[in-house]
Structure 1
Amino acid sequence: MVPFVMRLVAVLAAILPAVVSAAQPEPKLTLVVPFVAGGPTDKLAQPFVAAFGRALGERVSVKNIGGGGGSVGTREVQRARPDGKVLLLANVGHAAAPALNAKLPYDPQKDFEPVGLIADVPMTLIARRDLRAHNVAELRTQMETGRRKLAIGHAGEGSASHLCSVLFARAAGKDLPTLTHPGTASAMNAMLSDGHIDLMCDQTTHTLERIRSGEVQAFGVTTVERLAALPDVPTLAEAGLPGVQLVVWHGLYAPKSTPPERIERLSAALRQALQDPALIDALKDLGATPAKADDATPKALRARLAADVERWSKALKQ
């Protein structure tokens, strides 16, 4: 009996580690979106992680960390282990952060490894539905003669909505009271519910549905040409605000010192994901343009970031 028990123990000892290993979930990749759930960047992230996970062959989940115009979540990725299992979905605000915060605890260009561009998203200048102004000319008049100053909402300094607000105020020649929210999702709710926010400049990923339903009115888009998704909405240049041009790029980053072979695998999966019909359709529905293969590379994203760091440094100083 004793020898049998000993043999049984030996067999169990041999197979138990394999059983435990099989029961453990495979490693999971986390994509940090440095803005709250339900906002424009999050809406782009949701279809992206599905396609990216299929291309990579790994389970990918989104983790929303809002605050600081994107800096809080970005800092979280900077501190992550450089094994390519925690990534950052950053947008153009990543480039403006150094000009806005002299004490920024990270360097966008030195503390992260670029993987590649994901998509470009235009922005729209919108207003609450009951605002008496219905175009830019009427908006200018109301800003000049209205009984109270119009308030514009955004998602914090350095966010895309804040940068667009800066361009709008400069083009209009007016400083507007600003109301900062954790994200444009809550700013949109404030606009729709209590009217404390009159205006907002936000990405089409977040505004298309509201514009089409008539819940908000659109004054213009921030692109050089009109959008196919909003053919009746003029560009802001057409409407009389030529200085308000902004397309929000979104890029994928890993922590500094992530191994080159991991970066290359992530970048290859990114390019494959951007060919996924489901992702292409989802981005089209959001008014976004998928990055071309040549742009979905570390080199292209590094160049785009460097150019925009310089651009926003000059613009924000002015």
Structure 2
Amino acid sequence: MRMLSAALALAAAIGFSAAATAQDYPTRPITMVVPFAAGGPTDTVARLVAESMSKTLGQQVIVENVGGAGGTRGAGQVAKAAPDGYTILLHHIGQATAATLYRKLPYNPATDFEAVGLVTAVPMTMIGKPGFAPKTMAEAVDFVKANKDKVTYGNAGVGSASHLCGMLFMSSIGTQMTTVPYQGTGPAMNDLVGGQIDLMCDQTTNTTGQIKGGKVKAYAVTTKDHVKSLPDLPTMQESGLKDFEVAVWHGIYAPKGTPKAIVDKLNAALDVALNDPKVVARFADLGTEPEPKDRRSPAFHKDFVIAEIAKWKPVIQSAGVYAD
């Protein structure tokens, strides 16, 4: 009985301590891991959100870029971090596709994180080098089919958004291109602008400025609706690619076991950020917008990730692309 009483007292003390810690949270800076290089589209989203969340939480949210292995290195680091709310992850669609893409993934995207909330779903654009011959997306499809051994497609590596878009494109037209993987979208974009590669599909957060500046040739957006910042650009479906739709959604995660009270505080701060006029305006400049209120909750986010894993699994399996 004495042992049982002691155990119950210890459990109560631990519970009280955890509750007190959650109530005081945060008392020091928070690290937001972005599993990609600085300057990329996901990094841009993270820094906008982190700046606003810092004001709400009363502590600085510091963005740390931990690139490598298609985003799995940074995600794995957060999965193993202490579940105290001081190390969080901002990741894109790769959080779901990694479950199928990687044979030896050291974490489970569906169970090793606490979902905090969805941030934004960024449209993508199919773009070509400045002197690429095709004038429209339909012409580009015909050109690729006729010159499949010569056309080069750049991406940011296995598991990246540009890689996924490329896989879906090649699957849709039934033709493979020569793919050229890079260590991030920055160097891939540099080579596209310089004419070293022919095509690339990337997020509007990374392409809008290049398109408006006339540095690349824009063909289509990958969403079912037109993008406000690029109103004259047709959709892939309008260009003849039926059911071609992909947006790169972003979400915030905490390690599994992070107290609900802390997750709720992070979610509340995210909600404020996504209503911040500065964030909304900057997102609009980049061709995207905050997720609607009903898609920002931890519960919706958790279910959404599971659904996305199921959605992309057959696409990846049919392409036969895997990484160790």
TM-score, with structure 1 as normaliser: 0.89
Q: Secondary structure at the match of 2:293?
A: coil
Count of aligned pairs between the two proteins: 292
- How far has the Cα of 1:254 moved from its partner? 0.5
- How far has the Cα of 1:172 moved from its partner? 1.5
Q: Distance in 1 between matches of 2:148 and 2:268?
A: 56
Specify the code of the residue in structure 1 equivalent to 2:289: T
Cα deviation digits, residues 257-303 of structure 1 (max 9, x gap): 11111111111111111111111111111111201222211101101
Aligned 8 A contact 2:148 2:175 in 1: no
| 5+ long unaligned stretches in structure 1 | 1-25
- How far has the Cα of 1:147 moved from its partner? 8.7
Aligned 8 A contact 1:109 1:306 in 2: yes
Q: How much identity, in percent, do the aligned residues show?
A: 42
Specify the code of the residue in structure 2 equivalent to 1:61: I
Q: Distance in 2 between matches of 1:149 and 1:76?
A: 39
Cα deviation digits, residues 55-78 of structure 1 (max 9, x gap): 221111111111111111111111
1:296 — aligned with what? 296
- How far has the Cα of 1:181 moved from its partner? 1.0
Aligned 8 A contact 1:155 1:181 in 2: yes
Specify the code of the residue in structure 2 equivalent to 1:209: G
Specify the code of the residue in structure 1 equivalent to 2:249: W
Specify the code of the residue in structure 2 equivalent to 1:271: D
1:238 — aligned with what? 238
Q: Distance in 2 between matches of 1:284 and 1:237?
A: 23
- How far has the Cα of 1:148 moved from its partner? 4.9
1:127 — aligned with what? 128
- How far has the Cα of 1:190 moved from its partner? 1.5
Specify the code of the residue in structure 2 equivalent to 1:221: V
2:313 — aligned with what? 313
Matches within 5 A, 1:1-318: 27-146=28-147, 148-193=149-194, 195-318=195-318
Q: Distance in 1 between matches of 2:122 and 2:292?
A: 14
1:3 — aligned with what? none
Q: Secondary structure at the match of 2:70?
A: helix
Q: Secondary structure at the match of 2:230?
A: coil
Specify the code of the residue in structure 1 equivalent to 2:107: Y
Specify the code of the residue in structure 2 equivalent to 1:122: P
Cα deviation digits, residues 199-232 of structure 1 (max 9, x gap): 1110000000000111001110011111111111
Q: Distance in 2 between matches of 1:178 and 1:166?
A: 10
| 5+ long unaligned stretches in structure 2 | 1-26, 319-324
Aligned 8 A contact 2:149 2:178 in 1: no
Q: Distance in 1 between matches of 2:300 and 2:223?
A: 21
Cα deviation digits, residues 133-192 of structure 1 (max 9, x gap): 121222123223349521111112211111111110011211111111111111101212
Q: Distance in 2 between matches of 1:236 and 1:138?
A: 12
Aligned 8 A contact 1:94 1:158 in 2: no
- Larger C-alpha radius of gyration, 1 or 2? 1
Q: How much is the aligned-residue C-alpha RMSD, in angstroms?
A: 1.3
- How far has the Cα of 1:29 moved from its partner? 0.6
Cα deviation digits, residues 33-91 of structure 1 (max 9, x gap): 11111111111112111111112211111111111111111111112111111110011
Moved over 2 A (4+): 144-148
Q: Distance in 2 between matches of 1:96 and 1:147?
A: 26
Specify the code of the residue in structure 2 equivalent to 1:136: M
Answer with 107-116 or 283-292: which moved more. 283-292
- How far has the Cα of 1:104 moved from its partner? 0.7
Aligned 8 A contact 2:49 2:270 in 1: no
